[in-house]
Amino acid sequence: MIEKIIESEMTRYRESYAPIVREVNEDIELAGYIDHTLLKADATQEMIVRLCQEAREFNFWSVCVNTGYLSLVSKALEGSPVKKTVVIGFPLGQMATMTKGAETVWALENGADEFDMVINVGLLKAREYQKVYDDISEVVESAKGKIVKVILENCLLTEEEKIAACVISREAGAAFVKTSTGFSTGGATVEDVSLMKFVVGDHCRVKASGGIRTREDTIAMIKSGADRIGTSSGIKIVTGGIARDKGGY
């Protein structure tokens, strides 16, 4: 069943793909697009509290952290409109499906608003599409109507695999498809964002993440179809200042 849908989307892509070009005002206010992100292994409690203070100060959409810091983030953001985004099965995505589900259930019970899960790239490459679908569905169902974003890790995928991943995510009820973890061999590209937006259409939104460092990068991603930006350089993006982390791409 899912194979048939993927096949027909591949055909639609090959026959009618045209890059997405959206009109965006160059003066656009960017803070509301940004998931202010700190996911590194050496992130300390102090750094996470600072991340939350920055998110309040600059009116970012959310902070994005590992689930182990969710309770700390809930305290630090108390009374603020900033959302709490957590990552699920991060950064490799190859843990058992029930483990991803359990992490989601725990995070939901502890106040998470949005869930960025990593797809199982190995299963996708093996064309185990039903298993990939079930893995995503488990998280979508566990999130009980909250926003789930599926991280595809595009730098590891062929064009066909990117299309299949977008279709499976869409069919499994994801709210967003997301380009990258920021921890693999490459980050977001405008070409990938455009492909993803073309495939998911109005059923899902696209989050661009990984290596986005400047206001220009951010606007280019939005023009190509992104509606959310995941970045550890949010302050630089909104102030034009120096990136806290220049990244490795």
Tell me which residue has tokens 């498809």: 177
Rounded to an integer, what distance in angstroms lies between the CA atom of residue 178 and that of residue 151?
Answer: 4
What residue is closest to ligand G3H based on CB?
182
Q: Which of 187, 194, 226, 238 binds ligand G3H (CB under 6 A)?
A: 187
Rule CB under 6 A: say whether 93 interacts with ligand G3H: no
Rule CB under 6 A: say whether 122 interacts with ligand G3H: no
Rounded to an integer, what distance in angstroms lies between the CA atom of residue 113 and that of residue 134?
Answer: 22
Tell me which residue has tokens 């999130």: 143
End-to-end CA distance of the chain: 38
Catalytically annotated residues: 116, 178, 207
Q: Which of 232, 235, 237, 238 binds ligand G3H (CB under 6 A)?
A: 232
Nearest distance, CB of residue 248 and ligand G3H, angstroms: 8
Q: List helix spans (H) across 92-233.
A: 97-109, 121-125, 129-142, 159-171, 190-200, 215-223
Phi, psi of 180, rounded to the nearest 5 degrees = -155, 160
Nearest distance, CB of residue 191 and ligand G3H, angstroms: 17
| Helix, strand, coil shares, percent, the chain, to 5 | 45, 15, 40
Rule CB under 6 A: say whether 210 interacts with ligand G3H: yes
Rule CB under 6 A: say whether 211 interacts with ligand G3H: yes
**Burial of 201 by CB count in 10 Å (0-12 exposed, 13-18 middle, 19+ buried)?**
exposed
| 28-47 residues near ligand G3H, rule: CB under 6 A | 37, 39
Rule CB under 6 A: say whether 89 interacts with ligand G3H: no
Binding segment (CB under 6 A) for ligand G3H, from list 52-60, 142-150, 157-165, 226-234: 226-234
What are the residues binding ligand G3H (CB under 6 A)? 37, 39, 64, 181-182, 187, 209-212, 230-233, 245, 247
